[in-house]
Amino acid sequence: MAKEKKLVFTQQEMLKMNKETLKRRGVTINDIAELAHAQQSRYTKGIPFELCVESVERILSFRDIFHHVQLSAEIDRLAEEGLFQGPIQDILYEDLGLFGIDELMGIDVSGNYGTIGVTNFGEIDVSKRGIVEKLNEEGKKEGKCHTFLDDIVGAVAAAASTRVAQVLNEELAHESGDYHKTSIFDYIDNEE
């Protein structure tokens, strides 16, 4: 009898599988949270590291991100094992600079947090710090390929960094005295 196929998973299951897959590929939640923390700390001081960890975990539990992480990790593994046929094997394995489909996936992931998410991804992609730099260096070694993973990890960090900014701004809005106002006329009246 054919093996029963399972296609859909709970958010908790997806987070667990993403954590395991990333760990197998050499990346921890903390690695990604550190990138998010470093990026957002340029704008706000004293960001709790826990908020970054929570944001990374939240993002890694989403279904579309689950598909991105799982597919990226498998593309890299297959390239490491030389299992692609045709020119794409060498293009993937050598991480050709002009190959942009890995960045395209990063843009899609970070785009879940709007244009700010995408620009934050661009910044991480260009500056190559922390785990992104490590993956990039490791990917050059014999038998290693991180062509897709570095972009997915950078994009999850960018999305988490953007979520942190959203959470902090929500808190700020609640702290400001005007939040109880429900109508634009409340503001207009006040200005007179």
- The residues of the shown chain that bind Mg ion, judged by CB under 5 A, are 102, 147, 150-151
Instruction: Tell the smallest beta-carbon distance from residue 147 to Mg ion (Å).
Output: 5
Please, what sign has the CA dihedral across residues 152, 156, 157, 159?
Answer: positive
Q: Of 57 and 103, which CB lies nearer to Mg ion in the complex structure? A: 103
Q: Which residue is nearest to Mg ion (CB)?
A: 102
Q: Of 16 and 77, which CB lies nearer to Mg ion in the complex structure? A: 77
Backbone angles phi, psi at 141, to 5 degrees: -75, 160
Q: Of 31 and 102, which CB lies nearer to Mg ion in the complex structure? A: 102
171 token code pair: 């808190």
Q: Of 47 and 95, which CB lies nearer to Mg ion in the complex structure? A: 95
Q: Of 22 and 53, which CB lies nearer to Mg ion in the complex structure? A: 22
Instruction: Tell the smallest beta-carbon distance from residue 149 to Mg ion (Å).
Output: 8
- Judge contact between 69 and 22, C-beta under 8 A: yes
Q: Of 96 and 173, which CB lies nearer to Mg ion in the complex structure? A: 96
Calpha distance 132→152 (Å, rounded): 10
Calpha distance 119→77 (Å, rounded): 28
Q: Where are the beta strands (DSSP E) in the chain?
A: none
Instruction: Tell the smallest beta-carbon distance from residue 6 to Mg ion (Å).
Output: 30
What 96-101 contacts at long range (C-beta under 8 Å, 24+ apart), as own/partner pairs, is 99/147
Please, what sign has the CA dihedral across residues 160, 119, 70, 62?
Answer: positive
Instruction: Tell the smallest beta-carbon distance from residue 39 to Mg ion (Å).
Output: 18
Backbone angles phi, psi at 22, to 5 degrees: -60, -40
Calpha distance 88→92 (Å, rounded): 6
